[in-house]
Structure 1
Amino acid sequence: MINLKCINHDTEYEINNIIHLFEPYIEGDYELESVYEKNLATAKLIKEDNVIFEKQSPIDEADTELKAKKNMKLMLKETVYEVLYQLTGKAMPWGMLTGIRPTKIVHDYQKQGINEATLREKFDKVYHISQDKVDLMIEVAKAEEEILSKNKQDEISIYIGIPFCPTRCVYCSFTAYSLEAKKNHVETYLDALCKEISFIAEAQKGKPIRSLYIGGGTPTSLNEAQLERLLNHIQNVFELEQIEEYTIEAGRPDTITREKLEIMKRMNVGRISINPQSMNQKTLDAIGRHHTVEEIKEVFKIARELGHDNINMDIILGLPGEEVEDVAHTLEELKKLNPENITVHTMAIKRASRLKEELRKSDEMAYQLAQAKKIEAMLDLSQQACRSMGLNPYYMYRQKNMLGNFENVGYAKPGYECIYNVEIMEESESIIAAGAGAITKMVYQNGERIDRIANVKSLEDYITRIDEMIERKREGFMKYR
């Protein structure tokens, strides 16, 4: 256990995130002093009143107060990382990075005119990121730049949330409700959602929509009539003639029917997800998925027959009970299906998930240690398999409490990269979000300012307070017309 003491600075939250990375590898109790003084950052690791490891680094001068504070925080975190590395001998794959958007750092440094060689040196010497992760980060940043460079002035993207699922998976922490328990709320939810969508369409009229993404939950947990009702409403109120990308995260195969796929095709949905998470039946049963591997294959086949030519498939590495050979089997099965996108997620033990509840604190540490090496092998295998299918990494994000401190990566065939995924990660244009728990992000001044407008998470509150949700948006939109 580490007892942290911050002296002359308020970077406690960020430093605790660094400490959290090393917790599974630390035995015993230590004092950690993090000190800012005279443009120096110092970290001292103390055991029984003796300093056992110490690191001191100068802080670069800056021409603005904001940059000076960033530099100070950077070096305070770096010195703490160094002493904890000396204690444990454990190098983190992403070094001291704990944020969810690693490529944002690449874009920020490039805007400052820093070239790739200098960037690579900084990521190695200051951030302590492993070489393979630096390579991945820079490759993804270049792919993102291809997409972001085509953003137009006043352009927006739209997100629409459907917070229903047939069952709740063991690892899930999203805003999602059991369809069985909440089936009587679906129609009233759609009433409220369509009302909010109509307001957004009117308030943002004239602005080009680059991408529209319907996610969840599981959007195809709606029945055929409900899905058609929603898509008809979207088509009637939004100007979609010039839209570049229209996605429905169809998700779970047990919710997808031929008729739903026909409706999506008829309504010009150009990209869908069919997400197996694993192609191993024992795993699907263990995580609460009520479908078979054969159903995944059958739904994919029907989608192809109906002309769906841009299909994403999600998998998760580190699912309970899975070994490297299980992931290898999943990848072999996906290779036979030949989707245009594969998104590789690393398991995260999320605070609101059932898995988190099932793991006591001590068990969680042991579980993370046991999984870390397996996850690394699974990630390497996944990258090799995706590249062999002609899929290249184009977007990436990280989460807290990810097993092994790794990452999630989206792979796509050239020309099939998901625009919405890149926009939501890099926060380069406003994304207007509708639905329970949805968060609108208004982007101003080329990303220098982001205002968030949040909807309530509770399904019942969203339905009864829809006018309040609309008023929140009205005020947020008026703020910076």
Structure 2
Amino acid sequence: MKININLNNMAYRYDVYQMFNIYYLMDDIVFNKPENNEDKIYHISICDNSIDIKGPKINTEYYYDKIIGYNNFIKKSLFMYLKEETGQEHPWGTLIGIRPSKIAYDLMKKGFSENDVIEHFSKVYVASEEKARLCMEVARNEATFINEDENCISIYIGMPFCPTRCAYCSFASNPIGSSKKLVEPYLNALIKEINAISDYIDKRGLRIETVYFGGGTPTSISNEEFYSLMNIIHNRFIEGRNIREFTVECGRPDSITIHKLRTMKEFNVDRISINPQTMNDETLRVIGRGHKAQLVKDIFKEARSLGFDNINMDIIVGLQGEGLEEINYTCKEIKKLSPDSVTVHGLSIKRASKIHENIVLNKRYYVPEQKELLEMYSTTKVLSEELEMIPYYMYRQKNMLGNMENIGYTIKGKECIYNIEMIEEKQTIIALGADAISKVVFLEENRIERFGNLKDVLQYTERIETLIEKKIELLDTLYNKL
């Protein structure tokens, strides 16, 4: 279906689009196009003190509330109108692509009471009391880990290869089978970057709090390549530095071998991820994974037998063809394994993903109704409670089915400190590898400067010297002041 919006002031196009996208995620939203009988047509007139909305079912005028500010007024008015027209419930209200726990954390630091925070979320964002309380719980759980010492940093290392590319993926994740010629040059460039940044850290006397090796899939390379790279990471970032956490996001079970698990134990990895996303074999096939759920169980048990006592597992809600029955089964199977943390992701329809391509080409794609999606998320919350886990970090993305949240649950004491630092943005994170984005945090100025490495693997390897130079220039702008 095409949603045709006649808007009088295109300065507000982005805000209007985002509110309609909550309710009409899978539809084509256009502005000021010639009207067609098959279109769903809305007329929106934004004035200094009001907004007038006329649609297929109802016409409503809202008047400016100066307490919440003009942009929030526009979004709130549209959200309330569409809620009435569609009858859909979206508990996050107008919050889009924002770190909501960060809002709660900042309000609580200013002395806001719980009731004040709940009222703020409701009045400004039309968010439910349940979501406001979730934000406060996450913020309280994060508070003891947030490190605002500018001389303390975290390291992210990216591996832009995977066994295959999943249908929902938009990251730098080149299928390893067709990219073998790129691996050796990439590893050489990455090692060059590791050495340069390690030297810089030593020169500046910086302290490393956490190291996170992600991707892509870090374990997609060969046993020998993985051992060699892990040895260098350990020597340059781990050994003798008394870091708090070393995570390897193994991810795909079809990339994990006993050799790689033993390598990680040898080099003091204390947290790993083994990510099923779903425990339904048919879904695994549809999304492009070359393994079955049994392999997830086998690898998990091997990791436990080798002494890994901090294992995370990821679940995605809303995968193609999945409804409440499928997510119930996934949760039941994960409960049997009893991981130390579970990260629940809502499916985000990314433009660079195969799923988005299928939608554009009008291929059949089953999307659960909003009520079912909310029940699916509730099922994952029940799983966390049964595993005696607490919510410890969260973030939201645009274009998420159900307009919900990505949330990490953990047994107390097994939190991923890197995840907290990355989301709350109070600590500088130096990111290495293709498509890795460094965030340099200027606490006194309350601002963040970002530097992104090139996404294309070949370009990254060819321009590594320049990328290192530019990254160090940005880091110098902070550390020359200290």
Residue 29 of structure 2 is aligned to residue 31 of structure 1: no
Please give the alpha-carbon distance, in whole angstroms, between the structure 2 residues aligned to 1:83 and 1:6. Answer: 18
CA separation in 2, counterparts of 1:138 and 1:34? Answer: 34
Q: What corresponds to 1:53 in structure 2?
A: 60
Code of the aligned partner of 2:52? K
CA contact (8 A) 2:320 2:366 kept: no
Greater than 4 Å deviation, 4+ residue runs: 24-27, 361-364
Q: 2: distance between equivalents of 1:367 and 1:325?
A: 14
Q: Aligned pair in 2 of structure 1 residues 153, 473: CA closer, same or farther (>3 Å)? A: closer
State the secondary structure of the residue aligned to 1:468: helix
Query: The residue matched to 1:215 in structure 2 has which SS?
Result: strand
Amino acid at match of 1:289: R
SS in 2 for 1:379: helix
Q: Deviations over 1:156-183 (max 9, x none)?
A: 0000000000111111111110101111
Over aligned residues, Cα RMSD in angstroms?
A: 2.2
Aligned-pair distance for 1:2?
Answer: 4.6
Preserved contact between residue 15 and residue 74 of structure 2 (Cα < 8 Å) = no
Give, in whole Å, the separation in 1 of the partners of 2:455 and 2:98: 22
Separation in 2 of the partners of 1:360 and 1:294?
34
Tell me what 2:436 maps to. Answer: 438
Q: For structure 1, which segment, 75-84 or 249-258, has the greater mean C-alpha deviation from structure 2 after superposition?
A: 75-84
1:194 — aligned with what?
A: 191
Aligned equivalents of 2:123, 2:71: Cα separation in 1: 16
| Residue in 2 that maps onto 1:213 | 212
What's the counterpart of residue 256 of structure 1? 256
User: How far apart, in 1, do the equivalents of 2:403 and 2:409 lie?
Assistant: 20
The worse-fitting range, judged by mean Cα deviation, of 417-426 and 233-242 is: 233-242
CA contact (8 A) 1:212 1:245 kept: yes
- Equivalent in 389, 395, 404 of residue 393 of structure 2: 395
Q: Name the CA distance, whole Å, in 1 between partners of 2:445 and 2:424.
A: 9
Long gaps (5+) in structure 2: 30-38
1:249-278 deviation line (CA, Å, top 9, x unaligned): 011111111110000001001000001111
Question: Higher mean Cα deviation, 158-167 or 72-81?
Answer: 72-81
Once the 2 structures are TM-superposed, how far is the Cα of residue 427 of structure 1 from its aligned partner? 0.7
Measure, in 2, the Cα distance between the counterparts of 1:96 and 1:387: 28
Deviations 1:19-45 (A, max 9, x none): 22123599720111223x3xx4x2211
Bigger shift: 458-467 or 323-332? 323-332
Q: Distance in 2 between matches of 1:404 and 1:341?
A: 23
CA–CA distance in 2 between the matches of 1:415 and 1:446?
A: 30
User: Judging changes above 3 Å, is the alpha-carbon distance between structure 1 residues 181 and 447 closer, same or farther for their aligned structure 2 residues?
Assistant: farther
Question: In structure 1, what is the equivalent of residue 13 of structure 2?
Answer: 12
Corresponding residue number in structure 2 for 1:65: none
Aligned in 2, Cα 1:11/1:143: closer, same or farther, shift over 3 Å?
Answer: farther
How far apart are 1:367 and its partner, in Å?
4.6
Distance 1:77 1:323, change over 3 A: closer
Structure 1 unaligned blocks of 5 or more: 61-69
Q: Aligned runs of 1:366-385 on 2, under 5 Å?
A: 367-368=366-367, 370-385=368-383
Displacement of 1:466: 0.6
Q: Describe the superposition over 1:153-208 as per-residue Cα deviations: whole angstroms up to 9, x where unpaired.
A: 41100000000001111111111101011111111101000101111111122211
1:447-462 to structure 2, matched below 5 A, reads 448-462=446-460
Separation in structure 2 between the aligned mates of residue 171 and residue 421 of structure 1, nearest angstrom = 21
Pair 1:349 & 2:349 matched: yes
With structure 2 as the length reference, what TM-score do the two structures score? 0.91
Amino acid at match of 2:157: I
* TM-score normalized with structure 1 length: 0.91
**CA separation of 1:6 and 1:139: change in aligned 2, threshold 3 A:** farther
> What residue is the counterpart of 1:417 in the other structure?
415
**Distance in 2, Cα, partners of 1:264 & 1:143:** 28
Q: Following TM superposition, by how much is the alpha carbon of 1:14 offset from its aligned partner in structure 2, in angstroms?
A: 2.8
Note the C-alpha offset of 1:324: 1.4
Answer whether contact 2:283 2:319 (CA < 8 A) is retained.
yes
Cα distance between partner residues in 2 of 1:239 and 1:266: 12
Equivalent residue for 1:338?
Answer: 338
My pick for the range that moved more, 249-258 or 293-302, is 293-302
Q: CA distance change for structure 1 residues 446 and 390 in 2, over 3 Å: closer, same or farther?
A: farther
Q: Number of aligned pairs?
A: 463
Is residue 346–residue 375 contact of structure 1 (8 Å, CA) maintained in 2? no
Describe how 1:237-252 pairs up with structure 2 within 5 A: 237-238=236-237, 240=239, 241-252=241-252
Report the alpha carbon displacement of residue 4 of structure 1 after superposing the two structures with TM. Answer: 5.2
1:105–1:264 distance in 2 versus 1, CA, 3 Å? same
Matched, 1:173 2:170: yes
Alignment pair present for 1:157 and 2:169: no
